[in-house]
Amino acid sequence: MLLLLGAVAFTVVWATGAYNRLVRLRNDIANAFALIDVQLKRRHDLIPNLVEVARKYMEHERDTLERVTAARAQAMAANDLARSKPLESGAIKSLTMAESSLASALGRFQAVAESYPELKADAQMRDLSEELTHTENKVAFSRQYFNDASLLYNNAAEAFPTRIVSGLFGFKHAAMLQSTSSEAEREPVKVSF
């Protein structure tokens, strides 16, 4: 009887510890997403300023500017959804796709901007572009931290015997953020002379 009581007490203590660890790891994911959220907000706030500076030089590129603005709005909406549900794979996938569209639109914007020497020489445009580049780097670091936190959580939730606790209390698999680069961007650059 004493042995059975000891086994039950051990199981309760272990299950409590496993539950608390899963909660802590799940909260780490929310914290990691908060870091991404800060950087994405900064990125989204920089884009209208960049577009506005470019607008006076790129009057004939209205379509490019509108695509950037629309992609920004889509990314902001996806970010709002992901912020409210950072553990849901659908929200994270939507954010990844929206940010990929925004990165693509910004890439086209920067390619078009290269053909405007006056725009390239504008000090405000250079400063905004540099800030955007720094912010992009911070987004990449924050994304890596988020994915690391998700991996730790998923490993803990899926490993036996903690899997029993995660199943009993509904701890779901956490989605990872994918790279925002397209398949075409992953191809090696071809140089020909």
pLDDT digits (tens, 9 = 90+) for 60-79: 788 889 999 999 999 999 99
Q: Minimal CA–CA distance to 146: which of 23, 22, 26, 41?
A: 26
Mean pLDDT over residues 110-120, rounded? 84
Q: State the CATH number of the domain containing residue 45.
A: 1.20.1440.20
Give pTM, 2 decimals.
Answer: 0.81
In a domain, 193, yes or no: no
Q: How far apart (Å, rounded) are the C-alpha atoms in residues 4 and 81?
A: 48
In a domain, 1, yes or no: no
| pLDDT above 60 for 29 | yes
Structurally, the chain folds into a number of domains equal to: 1
- 3-state secondary structure at position 193: coil
Q: Is 132 a member of any domain?
A: yes
State what percent of residues in the chain have pLDDT above 90.
Answer: 66
For residue 117, pLDDT over 90 is answered with no
For the cut 50, the answer to whether the pLDDT of residue 106 exceeds it is: yes
Instruction: Please indicate, yes or no, if residue 55 is contained in any of the structural domains.
Output: yes
Do residues 149 and 179 make contact, with C-beta atoms less than 8 angstroms apart? no
CB count within 10 Å of CB 187 equals 8
Assigned domain for 96 exists? yes
Q: Is residue 8 part of a domain?
A: no
Domain containing residue 149: 19-182
Say if 109 falls within a structural domain. Answer: yes
Residue partners of 176: CB distance under 8 A and separation at least 6: 92, 146, 147, 150, 151
Choose between 28 and 125: higher pLDDT: 28
| Of 40, 41, 49, residue with least CA distance to 129 | 49
Asked if the structure places residue 93 within a domain, the reply is yes
